Structure 1
Amino acid sequence: MSIELPEGYRPSEDEEYMNPMQLEYFRRKLLAWKQELMEESDSTLNHLREENWQEPDINDRATLESDAALELRTRDRYRKLINKIDKALNRIADGSYGYCEESGEEIGIKRLEARPIATLTIEAQEKHERLEKVRREE
């Protein structure tokens, strides 16, 4: 069941948190982002397929291989992002989207606008980052 969103709709703090319109807004935002990433990944694959890998000059070949490695790393990042987007879409479907996985508190509209795949409140995320930093320093 699709919900009609008014043209130019943006979630606001004045509305009930994660109401059907907000959920639909974020669902569409996530789907559009996923589509964009998939198109860019397809473009990368096509580019790599069409590339002439038989450069006679060793420097040109090294540059080509370096560029290809960078594109593949980017594509891998996209793959991971798509996985996170799919998980966010699943949270929309099961009703847990927009709530912190640790505390159950509202993540907040502003944070979700900036990072629609967020699973933690800013406070919980900062706590994780501090713990990670401490572990790396040990």
Structure 2
Amino acid sequence: MASMASDNEKLARARAAVGADYVPDDSEEYMNERQQEYFRMLLLDWKKSIHDAAGQTLQSLQDGPMREPDLNDRASSETDWGIELRTRDRQRKLISKIDAALRRIDQGEYGWCEVSGDPIGLKRLIARPVATMTVEAQEAHERKEKISRDD
């Protein structure tokens, strides 16, 4: 719980540093302090929304039994809950990627490709804030993965 309070404080500081209307621009120096705070805010907001959704799911599970009188309705409800729980599990894994991205911001490594060392690019980071590779490096990685799977 202390981590969430710390995250909330970091989020408030990042929002104050960035301002409400700021969007990173290619005309600025890449990964300047304001851009780093923007991505910190983006990541912390994303993490908070995942935690909020997980809390709502947990509350829904605790609130009511899934005892539908009709077997078809019960099967449908159980399928829906199974999908919901798998989604929450994927999001749980995403939180570790968000935390890793926040660590990279703290270490000054955020926004740089872990393979080539080139800038990942603002558009890619806005679309996928946890990205660790440029589009080209990611495509090469996926091709290698596919080839080794096919062998």
Considering the TM-score relative to the shorter chain, is it more than 0.5? yes
**1:29 matches 2:39:** no
User: Kindly tell me: are residues 7 and 46 of structure 1, through their superposed partners in 2, closer, same or farther at Cα, counting changes over 3 Å?
Assistant: closer
Name the Cα RMSD after superposition.
1.5
Q: Distance in 2 between matches of 1:89 and 1:7?
A: 20
Q: Distance in 1 between matches of 2:20 and 2:70?
A: 55
Cα deviation 1:36-72 (Å, max 9, x = unaligned): 1111111111112223233332222211111111010
How far did 1:108 drift? 0.7
What residue number does 1:67 align with?
Answer: 80
Q: Distance in 2 between matches of 1:51 and 1:69?
A: 16
Q: Distance in 2 between matches of 1:65 and 1:51?
A: 13
- Structure 1 unaligned spans of 5+: none
TM-score normalized with structure 1 length: 0.93
What residue number does 2:7 align with?
Answer: none
1:98 equivalent among 105, 108, 111: 111
What residue number does 1:53 align with?
Answer: 66
Which has the larger helix fraction? Answer: 2
- Structure 2 unaligned spans of 5+: 1-9
How far did 1:90 drift? 0.5
Q: Distance in 2 between matches of 1:6 and 1:56?
A: 53
The range that moved more, 110-119 or 7-16, is 7-16
How far did 1:6 drift? 3.8
Aligned-partner residue type, residue 82 of structure 2: A
Aligned-partner residue type, residue 50 of structure 1: D
Q: Distance in 2 between matches of 1:15 and 1:32?
A: 23
Q: Distance in 2 between matches of 1:51 and 1:96?
A: 46
Aligned residues: 138
- The percent identity for this pair of structures is 54
